[in-house]
Amino acid sequence: MRLIAIILLLVVLVAAIVGPSALFTISEIQVAVVTRFGEPIRDLKEPGLYVKTPFVDKVIYLEKRLLLFDAPPDSLLTKDKKRLVIDVYARGRITDPRLFVETLRNESRARSRAIDIVASELRREIGLDDQSEIIRTNRSDIMARVKLAVATGKEDSEGLEGFGIEVVDVRMKRTDFPGEIAGSVYERMKAERKRIADRERAAGAKADLEKRASVDRTAVEIISAAQRDADIIRGCGEAESIAVFANALQQDPEFYTFQRSLETYRAHMVENTTIIGSAKDLGQAFEDIRVAMVDSARTPDSVSGADTLDLLESRCLQIDAESAARELLAAEIDIEERALLLESTEKVDWPDTSLGCPQEGQLYAQVIISGYRMFFSFEGEFYQVHTDQGGTQVLRCEAP
C-alpha cells in the first residue's frame, strides 16, 4: 500500500510539473504552428485544447483575422514621365500557417515583405499608364492588376501566396501631385475652370442680348401694328362720318349748312364772349362762317368721294378680317393675340365656301367669296389663315 501511495504521489508531482508545458489552447482569432527544435512540424487552424511535447515543442501563435499591409506614400513615375504621390494598402489573411512560418517566421517580417511587394508591383503598373488615366479612369483596373500581381507574383518576383498569405484587397488611399508641382497644377485647374466659366458667361450674355433684341423688335412691331390699325379704324369712323354728312348735304344743302353754322357759333360764341365791332361786322362774320361751311362740305372736282369711301370701307373690312384671324389663331395655339406677328396679307377671291382649305369628303358651294390669305409668325413658326372679306368666316390652313 505504501508503494502504491508513493507511485501516485510521484504521478501527481510529475503532472503538476509537466502539465502546463504539455497543454496549450488556441482561441477563435488565432492559428498556431508547433515547432520542434525550431522546425515546424504541424499547423493548427481550429480553436481548442491541444497537447505538445514538453520542453521540446514550442507553439507560434499567428493572427487568424485580416492583416493590414499599409505602404508609406511614395512618388511614382507614370508612363508620360509625370510623378504622382500614391498611398496604397493591402489586406490579406494567413491561409497556410506552416508555410508562413517556414518562409517569414513572424508577422512583422510578413508586413515588411508584403509592403515591399505591393510597392514594387504598384510602381510597375503605374509606369504603364498616363497620369490623366490614373486619376480619371484607370484606377480600378490598375488596382485589379496590382492585386493579381501581389497575390501570384511575376516571372521575376514571388507573390504573397508563396508565403501562405491570401490577398483579399489592394486599394489606393490617396493619389496626389508632388508638392513641388501641386501649386502649378492647381493654378492650371483654376485657369481651366475660369475659362469654362467665362465661356458660359459669354454664352449667357449673348443669349440675353439676342432675347432682348427679339423682344424689343416684337414690341416695336406690335406697337406699330396697333398704331396702324388704330389709324385705319379712326379713318373708317371718319369715313362713315363723312358719308353721313354727305348724305345730309345731298338731302338739304341749305339746312345742312345752317345747322353746321349754328354748331360753329355754339362752339365759338361761348358765355362771357366779348365781340368788338359793329352789328354789320358781326353779320359779316356769321356770313363768312356760313360760306366756309358750304365750301368745306363741297367735294373737290379732282377727288371721287365714292371711290374714297369704297377704299376706306375695304380697308376697314380687312382690319376686321385680320382681327378675327388673329383671335382664332391665338386661341388654337394658346398664346396672347398681341404675340402674333402679321407677316403678309393677300386679297383673294375664293372659288367656293372652303376658302381654299377643303377637307376630304366634304362638299362646298361653288360661290366666289372675296377674302384674304394671311400669314402670321410666332417664335420662328409660320401659320396660314384664310378669311372672307369681313372676317365672319375664318379657317386655319397648313402653311406651305
The pLDDT of residue 298 is 57
Whether residue 80 has pLDDT greater than 70: yes
Q: What is the pTM of this model?
A: 0.45
Count of Cβ atoms closer than 10 Å to residue 305 Cβ? 12
Whether residue 325 has pLDDT greater than 60: yes
3-class DSSP assignment, residue 335: coil
CB 400 within 8 A of CB 386: no
How many helices (H) and strands (E) the chain has is answered by: 9, 15
d(CA 213, CA 379): 13
pLDDT tens digits along 228-246: 778 877 877 777 777 777 6
Highest mean pLDDT among 83-87, 198-202, 272-276 belongs to: 198-202
Nine-digit cell at 167?
490577398
d(CA 381, CA 281): 69
Count of Cβ atoms closer than 10 Å to residue 261 Cβ? 18
Averaged pLDDT score across all residues of the chain: 81
d(CA 93, CA 65): 6
Whether residue 16 has pLDDT greater than 60: no
Whole-number percent of the chain with pLDDT over 90: 29
CB 86 within 8 A of CB 131: no
CATH H superfamily, domain 67-181? Band 7 domain (3.30.479.30)
Enumerate long-range contacts of 100-106, CB under 8 Å, 24 or more apart: 100/33, 100/62, 100/163, 100/164, 100/165, 101/33, 101/35, 101/40, 101/43, 101/60, 101/62, 102/40, 103/162, 103/163, 103/164, 104/163, 104/164, 106/60
Residue entry with cell 504621390 = 85
What number is the average pLDDT over the span 156-163? 85
Fill in the amino acid letter for 337.
E
pLDDT tens digits along 214-225: 888 888 888 887
The pLDDT of residue 355 is 86
- What residue spans define the domains of the chain? 20-64, 67-181, 230-298, 322-397
Instruction: Using alpha carbons only, give the angle 357, 362, 368 rounded to the nearest 5 degrees.
Output: 55
